[in-house]
Amino acid sequence: MTQQIELKSKREIGLMRQAGLAVWKAHQIAAELMRPSATTADIDRAIEEHFDAIGAVPLFKNYPNSSRNHPAFPAVTCMSVNEAVVHGIPSDRPLEEGDIVSIDTGCRLNGWCGDAAVTHAIGKIEPEIQKLLDATRGVLDLAIELLHKKSLWSQVAEQMAQYVADHGFSTVECFVGHGIGREMHEDPQVPNFSSRSLRGSGDFRIEPGLVIAIEPMVNMGSKKVKMLPDHWTQVTSDGRPSAHFEHTVAITSEGPTPLTVAPTPAEIEEMAV
């Protein structure tokens, strides 16, 4: 099936940056609360209050389940702890020293969307788990850097998967990134690995106006996942830890521009006026 990719104008990317800054701020709020004894439910409530205060619409809350027989997603954040890969539901379980928590959240502000994820260490974690977090953050950074140098996404994805393998970990293949704009999920699909489909009709050009959410999910052991009985949370099949990092990134005439990062000095000055 041919992907219908909608390129964004400079003005539209500017509007998406405002949504991206709202998501960045949400992650700063979460980072301040990530500590032993905190609960992911409390952190989720803090993010919901932030979105409500700025008039942003959470993208995840009430997101429909792929199966109509199961409930919509109940929270504004996905909170995936330890072996949870993605789509974890916030809970009242206190976080413990040594846990890792992947928080994924997004919002729509003034009609445009932003989406980002970060994996946090709770206190001191095992060295091998820290390596997992570093490699996952590193492969996202690599992808953004390669957008300067490559013309097709397949060329980026191939090097992403190789980077993860070289670090001794595995790339999750059943979940991928996505185009983003007025809707959270738009074309194209943005896999973090090479495949026959990606090298064919699933490939796409890296060109100005493209806006994508790049989100590698990396497992310490097997790449395989399974769903828990809550019909949302996806965990590693072998129970080993998983990490997840994501940015919304726009391709402009000046090159790739992450939209879900901290404000620049110029943006801070503009906000102060």
Strand, coil or helix: 93: coil
Q: What is the pLDDT along the chain (273 residues), one digit of tens a residue?
A: 578 999 999 999 999 999 999 999 999 999 999 999 999 999 999 999 999 999 999 999 999 998 888 999 999 999 999 999 999 999 999 999 999 999 999 999 999 999 999 999 999 999 999 999 999 999 999 999 999 999 999 999 999 999 999 999 999 999 999 999 999 999 999 999 988 778 778 899 999 999 999 999 999 999 999 999 999 999 999 999 999 999 999 999 999 999 999 999 988 988 775
Residue 160 to residue 59: CA distance in whole angstroms: 27
| Matching residue, tokens 């959410």 | 213
Integer-rounded Cα Rg, in Å, for the chain is 18
Cβ count within 10 A of residue 266: 8
For residue 273, give both structure tokens. 């006026």
Beta bridge partners of 105: 77, 116
Amino acid at 175: F
Q: Which two tokens stand for residue 205?
A: 């050009």
The CATH architecture annotation of domain 10-272 reads Alpha-Beta Complex (3.90)
State the burial class of residue 124 (Cβ atoms within 10 Å of its Cβ: 0-12, 13-18, 19+).
exposed
Residue with tokens 């095992």: 126
